[in-house]
């Protein structure tokens, strides 16, 4: 969906409402396709002080796998997007503060796709305190401890021998 911002850049005192759902099921995250349901975007574009502001809420369901225990993860994510759009930048302006459209329109699909990729955490966890899998037997440690014997650090083995002699 392309949103025409020409009137806003020309100083029109109007609001462009956004209530939009689109499919980005082709998005690949890690090695799988986590966004099987449509992404919902609500908000508005408006002109203020000669620039175009956007205030959006993005909501989507993430279906993937925990990076520690490999269990399925089904999470609803919701985050705000607050950005300032300009047609050009003067020398000395900070590029991080503005998005230069170059034209008077913005492809909302591409813009929101980039925002989602920036929002997603680098590690997906089923829960914050996920214990992961045992490196020896592969048991999910969230379901209980395993019976594997803990490895002894070879640097400490000599000290353990001294304790065993006593």
Q: Are residues 31 and 101 in the same domain?
A: yes
* 92 and 144 share one domain: no
74: buried, middle or exposed (CB in 10 Å: 19+, 13-18, 0-12)? exposed
Same structural domain, 149 and 90 = no
Shared domain for 108 and 55, answered yes or no, is yes
- Distance of CA 9 to CAs 34, 35, 65, 84, 114, Å? 36, 33, 43, 12, 23
Rg (CA), the chain: 25
Report pLDDT for 145.
87
**Exposure of 99 in the CB half-sphere (CA atoms within 13 A):** 19
Dist CA 109 CA 40 (whole Å): 11
Whose tokens are 């462009």? That residue is: 16
Domains of the chain: total: 2
pLDDT at 136: 86
Spatial separation of the C-alpha atoms in residues 65 and 30, rounded to whole Å: 10
- Over residues 78-90, the pLDDT tens digits come to 999 999 888 777 7
Pair (33, 112) in one structural domain: yes
pLDDT of residue 132: 92
Same domain, 57 and 79: yes
Q: Are residues 26 and 61 in the same domain?
A: yes
> Is the same domain home to 126 and 137?
no
Q: Are 58 and 115 in contact (CB under 8 A)?
A: yes
136 and 156 within one domain: yes
Which regions of the chain are under pLDDT 50? none
pLDDT tens, residue by residue, 7-42:
888 888 889 999 999 998 888 887 788 888 999 999
Per the structure, the complete domain to which residue 159 belongs is given by: 131-166
Whether 34 and 112 share a structural domain: yes
Let me know whether 126 and 143 are in one domain. Answer: no
Pair (26, 76) in one structural domain: yes
């Amino acid at each position: 969906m392309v949103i025409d911002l020409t009137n806003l850049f020309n100083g029109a005192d109007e609001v462009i409402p956004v209530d939009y759902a689109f499919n980005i099921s082709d998005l690949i995250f890690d090695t799988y396709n986590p966004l099987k349901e449509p992404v919902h975007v609500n908000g508005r574009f408006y002109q203020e002080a000669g620039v175009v502001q956007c205030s959006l809420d993005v909501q989507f369901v993430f279906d993937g796998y925990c990076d520690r225990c490999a269990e399925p993860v089904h999470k609803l994510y919701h985050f705000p997007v607050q950005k300032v759009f300009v047609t050009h930048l003067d020398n000395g302006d900070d590029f991080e503060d503005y998005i230069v459209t170059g034209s008077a329109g913005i492809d909302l699909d591409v813009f929101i796709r980039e925002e989602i990729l920036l929002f997603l955490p680098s590690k997906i966890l089923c829960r914050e305190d996920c214990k992961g899998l045992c490196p020896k037997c592969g048991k999910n440690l969230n379901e209980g401890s395993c019976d594997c014997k803990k490895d002894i650090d070879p640097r400490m083995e000599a000290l353990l021998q001294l304790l065993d002699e006593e």
